[in-house]
Structure 1
Amino acid sequence: MGGRLALLIALGIDNFGSGLFLPLSVLYGIQVVGLPVAAAGSVITVGKLVGIAAPPLAGRLVDRFGPRQMVIAAQVVQAAGTVVYLVADNAALVFVASALLAAGQQAFYSSVFALIADTSRHGAKDTTFALVGAVRGVCFGLGGLVVAGLTAIGPAGYRIAVALDGVTFLAAAVVLALFLHVPHVRHEADSPPVSVVRNRPYLVLIVVVACGALALDLFLDGMAVYVSEVLHGPAWVAGAMITVLTVSSVLLSTIVVRWTRIWWRTKAMRIGYLITVVWALASMAAVLVPVSWLPAYLLGTMVLLSAGTLIGNRANALAEAAAPRATRGRYLAAFQYAFTAAGIAAPGVVALFVFGPWLPWLVAATAAIIAFAAIPYLQRTLPRDAVRGDYGRIAST
């Protein structure tokens, strides 16, 4: 089994399991453990906040032992979290389970991008990142379909979903341990390494990606609220929009990367952020659309969000390439906080609907404009090979 194939299989298994349980975590605390709604939500949220302390340690371990070992360890930690969920009968155990799953997930994302880069063929990292994203998206969706059937069983179905999630974590770890062999080369810095907090261009990259990611998180967290509570449209529209985004990502991600491979990564990201601004403004304008036209209009706006996401999806490859080799693990662990920050901020932005139907979209558009405006600085200050991406490889052949 080839290295990239083993990685794709392992990550597909992992995401199938995540699709089984991630949508059920709070419901599991309520329906199976028996916690009140407020207690379940609060305990799981605090557990996740504790888990976000994992990346700094994960980054150091990646630099010392390699990303493959860290990804395997992260899978085992998440499997342990599912075991605790299965035996949980009080809020304290739910907290422990949530913290373990969050810590394992954060450690996973802190190391998996380095592993993806290490298994890329001929240096074509952008295409490999897109392919991995497509496989993970398909498998996450399949997990979601399976859990839809399991929830019909009731609490027993929830337990089955958690148990299967734990099995998938362990299965993914076994595939990586047995079939993926990526030698870890420890790079010694020519000079004392610069920490992330002292590397201004990389810090700006983290802020830019956090700003750019806010719109997508707002869509995932807030579109259902917007459709039902603000626009008073049919409830099915939000789910259909997510389906359109998922399908387009699965079918077109690698194709779009190939079409735009002659673009520098920064150019692709800038165009993606600009399209995202237009999508946010189009979403804001939905309040002016008659209710009978809303489904068609909102589904039509997904062309914009899909295009912005597909074209601008170069941040992970840029972050990996721009990180100093000797401290790549620590840099990518810090980079993970860009998505964590956007995910944490999104529910608060959704809450702004109480002040006006336009405000969350204006915040998202403003954040994307900031990301768009900062790209030229990154293009000047980040390593040239990292900025050029696949274009640099093509130009040198």
Structure 2
Amino acid sequence: MTRSRAALLIALGIDNFGTGLFLPLVLLYVTREIGLPLGVAGMAITGGGLVAFAVPPVAGHLVDWIGPRWVVITAFLVQATGVSLYLVADGVVTVVAVAMIVAVGQQLFYCALYVLVADVAGNVPKERPFALVAMVRTAAFGAGAFAAAFVPSGYRVALVGDVVTFLVAAGVVVALVDAPHKVAWFEKVPANVSKNRPYLALILFCGLFSLSLDFFLVGMPVFVLDQLHGPSWLPGAILAVFTLSFSMSGTLALRHTRRFTRIGAMRLGSGLFAAWSALSFVAIFVPLDGLPLYLLTVTLVLAAGELVFGPRGGALAEAAAPPMARGRYLAAYQYAFTFSSVLAPAVAGLFSLAVWVPWVLVATCACLAVAGLGWLGPRLPENAVTPIQG
């Protein structure tokens, strides 16, 4: 592993450790330290975050023009600024403003991250580099969230720790990460993202897949506690099983599914998500004393689906993009995850209609992804869909 690759993994681990420290506590910070009511706090943070929808087109051009390295560095600094401003926020208006700054930084980061990873990795298939990044970031986030439970001096210590990790991560990238990038100031891009229908379809089908994962994060606690009346510790244990499985098995999953094409692996992952939805719904028939073991086991199906799909989806999106427009294309690809994260709370709210409604919707979306990806495969560049080697 080169110095730049190792340094980038270290920087991303430092960054996500800090995110794990503070992100799970941000709503509690706004309610308990700033004093906003819970409903108002949630609306303020969500409202500020809506600005994220405007960022990808701008971020994509920046990545293509100045390179992903400087966009990632800028994203770290913007997020550090935004999180630090929570210290002086004193009402709804300032919380919305701070949430907007943080959301801009987050979107800048995600729009540039995988172009930077691809540049640092060089001319190799991107599944393994993307899987390593996901493993490191997931493990670091879990470590940060675990450490937050032992912070003795309250939420402000976690907040300051998050700011420091952003700054340290930016410093590591500045000093140690070298990412050769051909700047696209004047080159004519082969096709605009909005005119590339197969790529737009890829974004759509990845969004249908991603909805399952976002629903898992926000809907599973509601399902376990409100619908099944399970023990209060179970949602945290389910998330821990998912995090541990994902952070330890990324490259192993790649090796065991290397005979699949990228599209084939993504269809398998989507099918596993559909199976997870069906198996989770069946939990309503499981006796309460057997519920924890059942749901913890079912979570492994979800983790397997993400392990198979995640790196292949990113690698396919990168390979299918015109080389001189990767920034714009991968920034557009982020909309798959932005929209699913916005829709997931609304899907979880459908539990108020009936316990089966969200599960049927999520499973249907996953099945549509399976079918849609099968249709899409022949319409993407052949070299982007070819079997994964090594």
TM-score range with shorter-chain normalisation? over 0.9
1:175 and 2:176 aligned: no
The offset of 1:51, in angstroms, is: 3.0
The within-5 A match list for 1:262-281 is 262-281=259-278
The offset of 1:122, in angstroms, is: 5.1
- TM-score with structure 1 setting the length: 0.94
Deviations 1:262-305 (A, max 9, x none): 32111100011111111101111111111122112111212211
Q: Distance in 2 between matches of 1:38 and 1:236?
A: 24
Look up the equivalent residue of 2:137 and give its one-letter code: R
Report the 3-state secondary structure (helix = DSSP H, G, I; strand = E; otherwise coil) of the residue aligned with 1:263.
coil
The within-5 A match list for 1:51-70 is 51-70=52-71
1:306 and 2:307 aligned: no
The within-5 A match list for 1:120-131 is 120=121, 123-131=124-132
Deviations 1:189-227 (A, max 9, x none): 986532111110000000101100111111110111111
Q: Distance in 2 between matches of 1:268 and 1:125?
A: 14
Deviations 1:355-396 (A, max 9, x none): 1111111110000011000112221111111112633xx6xx
Q: 2:250 aligns with which of 249, 253, 270?
A: 253
Structure 2 gap ranges (5+): none
Q: Is the 8 A contact 1:51 1:100 kept in 2?
A: no
Q: Is the 8 A contact 1:79 1:165 kept in 2?
A: yes
Look up the equivalent residue of 2:226 and give its one-letter code: E
Aligned to 2:293: 296
Q: Please identify, of 284-293 and 355-364, the stretch whose mean Cα deviation from structure 2 is larger.
A: 284-293
The offset of 1:20, in angstroms, is: 1.0
Q: Is the 8 A contact 1:51 1:101 kept in 2?
A: no
Aligned to 1:198: 195
Structure 1 gap ranges (5+): none
The within-5 A match list for 1:149-168 is 149-150=150-151, 153=152, 156-168=153-165
Q: Is the 8 A contact 2:48 2:103 kept in 1?
A: yes
- TM-score with structure 2 setting the length: 0.96
The offset of 1:188, in angstroms, is: 8.0
The within-5 A match list for 1:61-100 is 61-100=62-101
Q: Is the 8 A contact 1:17 1:168 kept in 2?
A: yes
The offset of 1:160, in angstroms, is: 1.1
The offset of 1:261, in angstroms, is: 2.1
Q: Distance in 1 between matches of 2:337 and 2:227?
A: 27
Q: Distance in 1 between matches of 2:189 and 2:205?
A: 27
Q: Distance in 2 between matches of 1:124 and 1:192?
A: 23
Q: 1:223 aligns with which of 214, 220, 225?
A: 220
Deviations 1:219-265 (A, max 9, x none): 11011111111111212222111111111111111111122223211
Q: Is the 8 A contact 2:64 2:324 kept in 1?
A: yes
Q: Please identify, of 271-280 and 376-385, the stretch whose mean Cα deviation from structure 2 is larger.
A: 376-385
Q: Is the 8 A contact 1:221 1:346 kept in 2?
A: yes
Aligned to 2:6: 5
Q: Distance in 2 between matches of 1:117 and 1:262?
A: 22
Aligned to 2:360: 362
Aligned to 1:142: 143
% identity of equivalent residues: 46
Aligned to 1:379: 377
Report the 3-state secondary structure (helix = DSSP H, G, I; strand = E; otherwise coil) of the residue aligned with 2:260.
coil
Report the 3-state secondary structure (helix = DSSP H, G, I; strand = E; otherwise coil) of the residue aligned with 1:175.
helix
Q: Distance in 2 between matches of 1:48 and 1:19?
A: 18
Aligned to 2:239: 242
Look up the equivalent residue of 1:372 and give its one-letter code: V
The offset of 1:123, in angstroms, is: 0.2
Deviations 1:110-164 (A, max 9, x none): 00010111111550310111011111111101110111122xx4xx521111111
Deviations 1:24-48 (A, max 9, x none): 1111111111112222111111111
Report the 3-state secondary structure (helix = DSSP H, G, I; strand = E; otherwise coil) of the residue aligned with 1:87.
coil
Look up the equivalent residue of 2:72 and give its one-letter code: V
1:191 to 1:41, Cα distance in 2 relative to 1, 3 A: closer
> CA-atom RMSD, angstroms?
1.5
Q: Distance in 1 between matches of 2:93 and 2:190?
A: 41
Q: Distance in 1 between matches of 2:43 and 2:123?
A: 47
Q: Is the 8 A contact 2:65 2:184 kept in 1?
A: no
Q: Distance in 2 between matches of 1:189 and 1:332?
A: 19
Q: How many residues align?
A: 388
Q: Is the 8 A contact 1:52 1:103 kept in 2?
A: no
Q: Is the 8 A contact 1:187 1:325 kept in 2?
A: no
Aligned to 2:350: 352
Q: 2:279 aligns with which of 275, 282, 285?
A: 282
Q: Please identify, of 56-65 and 311-320, the stretch whose mean Cα deviation from structure 2 is larger.
A: 311-320
